[in-house]
Amino acid sequence: MNRKRDQHPDTAAPDTAAETGMPADEFDSPDGEDAESPAEDLAADVENEVAVLKDQLLRALAEIENIRRRSAREREDAVKYAAVPLIKDLVVVADNLRRALGSVPADAVEGNEQLKTLLDGVEMTEKELQSVFVRHGIERIDPMGERLDPHFHEAMYEVPDASVPAGTVVQVLQAGYKLRERLIRPAQVGVAKGGPSAAAASPDGPGETNTDGTDGRGGNRRPEPGRRYDTSA
């Protein structure tokens, strides 16, 4: 009986780590390295979100600053040019005073004291109105003899005059006005044609003029009445 017990000893449960041949720490934490991955991913996501929010904040601050500057500029322009509607009405009065002065012949004033006194009064009124304009930054545009500037002049027609360069203002139908840098009304003028021009002084010469008004080299058309144009070469 004792011999049979020796041949069949009691079998105990084997040690799992020793039986599998794996270290104890690896067996206890089979996912040891993977356990740190979610934390690293979360930190990366947080950093990306912080960078995005920081960029959005900087853009919002820049946009607010632009709006503030634009609002300040618009506010300044509103104050500076608030009188434009009134000025447009006053320049018509100035035009009428100038027409009144030009409508009286010089010989009619001689020997007529009443007419001379009336004319002097109108002249003084016109000068005083122009002085008021100057004090408030209103400038009269009277471009007689100047080169046509399409930014401030409106060409109404051409005048044959070979004594001056083409594009020179030889007649002023109506003076223009501007308030500081802003144009209130362009000057209506007549310009010379037929005289020397900047194109004639160029090495290539003026070129031929086509029937459609171009100069044969892609130049501007001939000026048309009531239309602004640039006569610079």
pLDDT for the residue numbered 33: 52
CA 190, distance to chain mean position in Å, is 30
pTM, rounded to two decimals: 0.57
Residues of the chain with pLDDT under 50: 1, 4, 12-13, 17, 26-27, 198-199, 201-233
pLDDT for the residue numbered 41: 82
Contacts of 197 (CB under 8 A, 6+ apart): 165, 166, 167, 206, 231, 233
Q: pLDDT tens across 27-65, in order?
A: 455 555 555 578 888 888 888 999 999 999 999 999 999
Whole-number Å distance between alpha carbons of 47 and 100: 79
CATH class of the region 140-207+219-233: mainly beta
Q: What angle do CA 227, 176, 106 make, to 5 degrees?
A: 110
pLDDT for the residue numbered 139: 94
Report in angstroms the alpha-carbon separations of 15 from 10, 19, 27, 136, 149: 15, 6, 12, 105, 104
pLDDT for the residue numbered 6: 53
pLDDT for the residue numbered 63: 95
Q: DSSP string of 99-165? A: HHHHTS-HHHHTT-HHHHHHHHHHHHHHHHHHHHHHHTTEEEE--TTSBP-TTTEEEEEEEE-TTS-
pLDDT for the residue numbered 229: 41
Tokens standing for 171?
């007649």
